[in-house]
Homo-oligomer: A and B are copies of this chain.
């Protein structure tokens, strides 16, 4: 007989760890759409009563900062400092 997980109570889990691995020259809309999608998912979960963000998102890179194709920059975590992620997504660099 199959086993189902049902959400009759709001779960308080944060066990999906997602690393977004950004390289210099990353295509800006690709990167921001990813980050905003998961940020919005976490915000909606909070509105639904989740105690913890369902997805822990880390922006990681090879240096301390990443610089996008359009010239935006942000601090990133080194890969070595991130707990073993469940998923790593590498958004594409900008191609001319």
Assembled-state Cα–Cα distance A71/B96 (Å): 26
1/0 contact trace for A33-46 toward B, CB 8 Å?
Answer: 10110010001000
A73, CB-defined interface residue at 8 Å: yes
A36:B70 contact, CB within 8 angstroms: yes
Residues of B close to A31: CB separation below 8 A: 32
Q: For the complex formed by this chain, how many copies does it contain in all?
A: 2
A interface residue numbers (CB < 8 A to B): 27-29, 31-33, 35-36, 39, 43, 68, 70-75, 96
> Which residues on B sit within 8 Å (CB–CB) of A39?
70
Interface-centre pick from A27, A39, A72, A74 (highest chain B CB count, 10 A): A72
Task: Kindly state the separation between the CA atoms of A68 and B75 in the bound complex, as whole angstroms.
Answer: 13
Asked whether, in the complex, the Cβ of A73 is within 8 Å of the Cβ of B70, the reply is no
* In the bound complex, CA of A96 to CA of B66 (Å): 26
